[in-house]
Amino acid sequence: MSHLANALNTLAGQKLHALLLGFAALTLSSNALSLASDKQEKVTWEAAGNSNMTVENGLRTLTLEDSVIVTQGSLRITGDRAIFEYAVESNELNRITVYGSPVGYSQQLSTDGENVAGTSKELRLYSDENTSDSIVELIGDAAITSPDSTMNCAAITYLVDLDLIREAKGPCNGSLSSTSPQGN
Amino acid sequence: MNRPRILALLIPTLTAVGLYLTLDWADDRAIATSERAGMADTLQAEQTIESRSKASIQAYSQELETMIFDADGALQYTLSADSQTQFEDQTSLLTQPRITLFDASKPNWNITADYGRIERNSSAVDDPSREDSADEDLVRFIGNASLKAALANSSTLALQSSEFSLIPSVEKIRSDKPVRVIDQGINQTAVGFEANLTADSLYFEKKIRGSYEPPR
């Protein structure tokens, strides 16, 4: 239940978007947390096409084109185009944005093999400035399937570390359940 | 046949033979020196043969130290090498070339390789349609070609390839060979690249593989 309390605190601290349908889907299970080790893993990428790296205004931007695959531990993102943004001074990877038709996202939630998977036209992966939680934003024809739920929305904001859908922008459809997983 | 006529024929003949022997000696000396400097590997041999087939040796020097200034008199780059062999077609072979590019009189980038070749004509640049293709000097770095930021440069970028070409006037480096770039936890390999050092931008052509190690 401490997970639920944390999640509710997180929700309370958020300014919900004006277009938010008014619900936030919460799906938790006792072992449904992303692999803690993922964040410590090396981020790797590959692309069949070209790549650009530029430095401007203290920001290093790395762009990858064509058949892009990004991984970090069990995290895997595929797409057509990816943009990595690093803070030059701190050497932190601030954000990864991937575009695709669609972008594919998957990650192992626990050591017993439960996974979360999603698709969208655009995906943003970054860490919350306050909590350092990993956040995945699925934007445009967003779909996400976790062990306990399936959701299709215009956009979905997913807290990876908590297996929590923090924000869902409509129109939405799908099934939410805290007990039984739904199919695609 | 009278004596003055014989002399008139002999003198030019002896002069020509003397010139030939001198050039041949200089050629052999250049090769011997190169071999002493550890240049006997296949790569250098190919480069040397290729250049020798184009033109004869014009000059040879050791412990080269050259400073190049731009049109405004500002120091653009320094070029040093263990030795330089200059050919009549205006190409030069360098051993252990080292170039330092300057920005506002401060060393900005260091470029080194096992060997180098300076070319001075428009055919030196691969694509004539490019903006910097016209009659640019081009320095080709061959074997363990490396770019690193100089001490006065806060950048931590390092670039390694088996071969790349530098156009000093525009501070661009390019190659169609595999390359590795390392910078602040980023380690990326690719095939083919162009680096614009004045704009802090790198372009990689294909087969991109990379990784990033989060700071701990």
Does residue B21 sit within a domain? no
Q: Best mutation site among A38, A51, A95 for testing chain B: the one with the most B CBs within 10 Å?
A: A51
Q: Which residues contact A95 (CB under 8 A, 6 or more apart)?
A: A84, A85, A124, A125, A126
CATH code where residue A14 lies: 2.60.450.10
The confidence band for A116, taking pLDDT boundaries of 50, 70 and 90, is very high
Q: Which residue has the tokens 């550890």?
A: B38
User: What's the structural domain count of chain A?
Assistant: 1
Structural domain harbouring A97: 2-174
Strands in A18-163 per DSSP E: 43-47, 51-56, 59-72, 75-87, 92-108, 115-127, 134-146, 149-159
Does residue B25 sit within a domain? no
CATH code where residue B134 lies: 2.60.450.10
- In chain A, the residue whose alpha carbon lies closest to the alpha carbon of B209 is A46
| Predicted pLDDT of residue B113 | 98
Does residue B20 sit within a domain? no
Mean pLDDT for the stretch of residues A78-102: 94
Report DSSP letters for B82-112, one per residue. EEEEEETTS-EEEES-EEEEEETTEEEEEEE
User: What's the structural domain count of chain B?
Assistant: 1
Contacts of B154 in chain A (CB under 8 A): none
| Predicted pLDDT of residue A36 | 65
Which residue ranges in chain B fall short of pLDDT 70?
1-9, 11-54, 121-136, 216
Judge whether B54 and B87 are in contact, CB under 8 Å. Answer: yes
Cis peptide before B168 (omega within 30 of 0): no
Does residue B135 sit within a domain? yes
Q: Is A32 helix (H, G, I), strand (E, B) or coil?
A: coil
Cβ separation B204–A51 shorter than 8 A: yes
Q: Best mutation site among B194, B212, B213 for testing chain A: the one with the most A CBs within 10 Å?
A: B212
Each residue's pLDDT tens digit, B135-173: 567 999 999 999 999 988 988 899 999 999 999 888 999
Does residue A95 sit within a domain? yes
Does residue A182 sit within a domain? no
Does residue A103 sit within a domain? yes
Structural domain harbouring B45: 40-212
Does residue A79 sit within a domain? yes
Q: Which of B200, B205, B209 sits opposite A46 (nearest CB)?
A: B209
Interchain contact A53–B (C-beta under 8 A): yes
Does residue B98 sit within a domain? yes
Does residue A17 sit within a domain? yes
Rounded to 5°, angle at Cα A160 from A157 and A166 = 35
Does residue A184 sit within a domain? no
